[in-house]
Structure 1
Amino acid sequence: MRELFEKIGIEYKEDNEYKLTQLQLKQDELTDALERVEDDERRLELQNQYDEIEKAILDIYSIKSKETTGLYKEVEDYSELKNGENGAIFKGMSEKEQFEAAAALLTNKDSSLAIDELTRLANKGNVYAQTKLGEIYFQGKYTVKNVTEGLKWYDMASRQGDGTSSNRLGNYYYSNKAFSNAVSMYQRAQEQNNAYGYYNIGKMYSNGQYFPKNPVNAFEMYKKSAELGAVEGMVQTGMCYAKGIGTLKDDGEAKKYFEEAAAKKNAVAHNWLGYLYEEGRFGEKDINRALDWYEKGAACGGENCAYAAARIYFEKGEYQKAWDYALDARRKNVKEADGIINKIEETGYILSSHRSLAESGHTDQQVRLARAYEKGGLGVEKDEKLATYWYERAALANNQEALAATAYRYKKGLGVEKDIEKAKKYKAMITVSSPTKVQHSAISTVLLNIFRFLTPLTVIPIRAYCWYGISPQWGAIQELLMEMVVFTGIHCALQLIVSSHRLPKSINYLLFFIGLGLFMAIYNALWGQMELGVHIVPMAIIGTYIIRRIKE
């Protein structure tokens, strides 16, 4: 758990109450962010962090409940709960301790018992249980998602003074453009001293949603949320001071709030600190201090920090570090990073680095160098001979990607004389048990086979002629089109089934055609069409086509 606290930028202490308070505050922050984020990759990243914190919270509940009652140690200890005789178990426990004991059961495989217990407590007015049930039903994590049920429990907790529930209700209304209701809930959350109730009202003042735009009011809301511990509030307050929005410009105050947010691993705060040092806003320009903040921000996942670090390292002439950070930024969709990547390629540094390592026998670098010559990159012209040379060197060291590429290049005669035997030799060296980029996933296999199968199915119009004459009716054409779809689906299913078992190709072919033939026989019987000759020609064409493509 210590590693988790370091990761999210919170000081670690052994006290369980302290840990719970800090983790729950972070969880509130992530919940708020998840309900607003639009980028799928960022959403997944936030959800993973949320789940990690959720597990830590439940672990603490479990530890505390064992310390309090000594009951929840083994599954057998739940017999009283399962039998509904749970009154004695919670006797003498506070409302919070009862909730923690019930929530600890969520760590078990059977979460229904925990939900039953939380529901029992919630119906008795336990606000902690009501909030947790709202979260469970709203997210659909331990049970089937039920937004209506989630809202019901959030509302009950909110009316009892729970600021977290009030803020989450506000987020729900906000996301559905019911701004009046959202403001009402956010204001209730403020009265309940919830940091994000202030932050979200601040955003609405900034954006002119429901309220007219009011930078002064927005700043006051952000500052209050920061004082209550909202990291996003710290960042926004720092930005207001740095830009002079809603308050007087004050770089010293901006620095204070940014540093507080950066200590909690916020990448945006790191980026701002780097920018302020780079611009000399705290005195003379300090590129080294700026770079330090950018690198720390990149380590926290900040794409703009990665780009800024790449830019500074390039200016310093440290091309390898510049290259690494630029690639990191580009992977995170910072398009400006392409400019740095291109400039580094023009220097020839990366090519020289790859060549040196490739000469030393590093197969990954040999493949990268081969790719550069194959497509023309890293400052070199396209050269098929050198591409094949480096692919083959890596292939001889059993690099799987290189083996596939070398086999293909010998087969097509790219940069080397066409040699089918050598192509077969390298292809045979590819080991199925070693996953590589060139192996197809099940999904890509399905798509590929759909494409392959639709081509020979153009034979279906022959059937239209045989059955209905040269001018078939529209109903008949619809039936034939449906048949194309059905046959395509069956083909793909059979292909996946037989290819998922490591059998000889001949057995795979046999099983495939037996399966397809059996399906067609059943299909004909159902429709009362026993003219097998109508199917023999399409089957022969399809079979020939598939075998030819597989052999290729």
Structure 2
Amino acid sequence: MTARKTKARRLSILALALGAWFWAGVAHAQTPAQSQGETVVDDETQTAVADYNAGNFGAALKEFHHAADRGNRLAEFNYAMMLLNGEGTAADVGEGRKWLLKAAEANMSHAQYVYGKMYDDGDFVTRDPAVAHEWFLKAAQQGHVQAELALANQFLDGRGTPRDNAQAFVWYKKAAEGGDMTAQYVTGSFYELGGDGVQRNLNVARAYYAAAAAQGDPAARLKYQELSQALQKEAKRQGAK
């Protein structure tokens, strides 16, 4: 089973304002994080978000730092990202990693995912897929869709954990149900091919391909059309008996 994979190209500020999650900065996959009711946003953090979005990085850095010192997990995460990316200050990898770990240990699922991703990619740390696996699992168990996809990729590749296609399918399916386009395509592939504890079902495969196609995946659209034609031919063959 070959999976197509996506990954963020850089670490990003995660801003929370007006009750919704937003991304600031450039990311390859801009999937909203799962808040899980896990972060209380105070006035200073809200102000920091506004200053960051306005490009006032120096002010945002100080405000995130103050809020982080009081234990606000969103502020801890955003302060870490600014330090790692060198926004509003010279980059400080050691301090940035410290604050990111604080947010992850405080059970912020997105911080857990990003901390794991650092180790999976070897960004700012020595690459260690096993450590990445531990943090991806923590985030995935909270329903973080990107972590579910990352965990599935690890199980499929045997990276940071023994290869286990059955577990890969479990997590791809969870991420697919969470709306991830890549996971929808791969889940469709599992159902199309069968095996690894998955019963072959072309109708179910077609449904997952359709979901990915609806999000703009051209390969999924082709697979949907291919399976639709195959199922139509099979129906005609059965009807002719």
TM-score bin, normalised by smaller chain: 0.7 to 0.9
- Richer in strand (by share): 2
- In structure 1, the partner of 2:178 is 300
- Displacement of 1:292 in angstroms is 0.8
Q: 1:164 aligns with which of 12, 20, 42?
A: 42
Q: In structure 1, how many angstroms separate the alpha carbons of the residues matched to 2:139 and 2:217? A: 23
User: 3-state SS of the aligned residue for 1:33?
Assistant: strand
- In structure 2, the partner of 1:88 is none
Q: In structure 1, how many angstroms separate the alpha carbons of the residues matched to 2:137 and 2:157? A: 17
Task: Give the residue type in structure 1 aligned to 2:124.
Answer: G
CA contact (8 A) 2:17 2:46 kept: no
Q: Deviations over 1:98-144 (max 9, x none)?
A: xxxxxxxxxxxxxxxxxxxxxxxxxxxxxxxxxxxxxxxxxxxxxxx
Asked whether 1:341 is paired with 2:224, we answer yes
Q: In structure 1, how many angstroms separate the alpha carbons of the residues matched to 2:18 and 2:106? A: 16
Q: 1:195 aligns with which of 73, 85, 97?
A: 73
Q: In structure 1, how many angstroms separate the alpha carbons of the residues matched to 2:189 and 2:92? A: 36
CA contact (8 A) 1:35 1:171 kept: no
Q: 2:100 aligns with which of 207, 212, 222?
A: 222
Q: Deviations over 1:481-530 (max 9, x none)?
A: xxxxxxxxxxxxxxxxxxxxxxxxxxxxxxxxxxxxxxxxxxxxxxxxxx
User: 3-state SS of the aligned residue for 2:42?
Assistant: helix
Asked whether 1:240 is paired with 2:118, we answer yes
CA contact (8 A) 1:32 1:168 kept: no
Task: Give the residue type in structure 1 aligned to 2:217.
Answer: V
CA contact (8 A) 2:68 2:79 kept: no
Task: Give the residue type in structure 1 aligned to 2:21.
Answer: A
Asked whether 1:259 is paired with 2:137, we answer yes
User: 3-state SS of the aligned residue for 1:258?
Assistant: helix
Q: In structure 1, how many angstroms separate the alpha carbons of the residues matched to 2:144 and 2:43? A: 25
Q: In structure 2, how many angstroms separate the alpha carbons of the residues matched to 1:35 and 1:172? A: 12
User: 3-state SS of the aligned residue for 2:163?
Assistant: coil
Q: In structure 1, how many angstroms separate the alpha carbons of the residues matched to 2:18 and 2:202? A: 36
Q: In structure 2, how many angstroms separate the alpha carbons of the residues matched to 1:32 and 1:212? A: 30
Q: In structure 1, how many angstroms separate the alpha carbons of the residues matched to 2:18 and 2:217? A: 24
Q: In structure 1, how many angstroms separate the alpha carbons of the residues matched to 2:67 and 2:59? A: 12
- Displacement of 1:350 in angstroms is 2.9
- Displacement of 1:34 in angstroms is 3.6
Q: 1:328 aligns with which of 194, 201, 211?
A: 211
Q: In structure 2, how many angstroms separate the alpha carbons of the residues matched to 1:354 and 1:216? A: 62
CA contact (8 A) 2:112 2:135 kept: yes
Distance of aligned partners of 1:37 and 1:264 in 2 relative to their CA distance in 1, 3 Å threshold? farther
Task: Give the residue type in structure 1 aligned to 2:88.
Answer: Y
Q: In structure 2, how many angstroms separate the alpha carbons of the residues matched to 1:243 and 1:36? A: 21
Task: Give the residue type in structure 2 aligned to 1:331.
Answer: A
Q: In structure 2, how many angstroms separate the alpha carbons of the residues matched to 1:220 and 1:333? A: 38
Aligned residue pairs, count: 214
* Alignment gaps of 5+ in structure 2: 1-15, 195-199
CA contact (8 A) 2:49 2:60 kept: yes
- Richer in helix (by share): 1
Q: Deviations over 1:3-56 (max 9, x none)?
A: xxxxxxxxxxxxxxxxxxxxxxxxx69946247599xxx99x99xx99xx7xxx
Q: 1:176 aligns with which of 21, 46, 54?
A: 54
Q: In structure 1, how many angstroms separate the alpha carbons of the residues matched to 2:17 and 2:172? A: 23
Q: Deviations over 1:141-185 (max 9, x none)?
A: xxxxxxxxxxxxxxxxxxxxx962221111111111111111111
- Displacement of 1:217 in angstroms is 4.3
Instruction: Tell me: higher relative CO, structure 1 or 2? Use CA pairs within 8 A at least 6 residues apart.
Output: 2
Q: 1:309 aligns with which of 167, 173, 187?
A: 187
- Displacement of 1:251 in angstroms is 2.5
CA contact (8 A) 1:216 1:245 kept: no
CA contact (8 A) 2:83 2:90 kept: yes
- Displacement of 1:286 in angstroms is 1.6
Matches of residues 423-438 of structure 1 in structure 2 within 5 Å?
Answer: none
- In structure 2, the partner of 1:269 is 147
Q: In structure 2, how many angstroms separate the alpha carbons of the residues matched to 1:193 and 1:215? A: 20
Distance of aligned partners of 1:299 and 1:163 in 2 relative to their CA distance in 1, 3 Å threshold? closer
Q: Percent of counterpart pairs with the same letter?
A: 18
Matches of residues 65-464 of structure 1 in structure 2 within 5 Å?
Answer: 164-213=42-91, 215-316=93-194, 318-345=201-228, 348-352=229-233
- Larger Rg computed on CA atoms: 1
Task: Give the residue type in structure 2 aligned to 1:233.
Answer: A
Q: In structure 1, how many angstroms separate the alpha carbons of the residues matched to 2:24 and 2:234? A: 43
- Displacement of 1:259 in angstroms is 1.5
CA contact (8 A) 2:130 2:159 kept: no
TM-score by length of 2: 0.73
Superposed CA RMSD: 3.5
User: 3-state SS of the aligned residue for 2:21?
Assistant: helix
* Alignment gaps of 5+ in structure 1: 1-27, 54-161, 360-552
User: 3-state SS of the aligned residue for 1:265?
Assistant: coil
Distance of aligned partners of 1:326 and 1:173 in 2 relative to their CA distance in 1, 3 Å threshold? same
Distance of aligned partners of 1:223 and 1:214 in 2 relative to their CA distance in 1, 3 Å threshold? same
Asked whether 1:33 is paired with 2:21, we answer yes
- Displacement of 1:202 in angstroms is 2.5
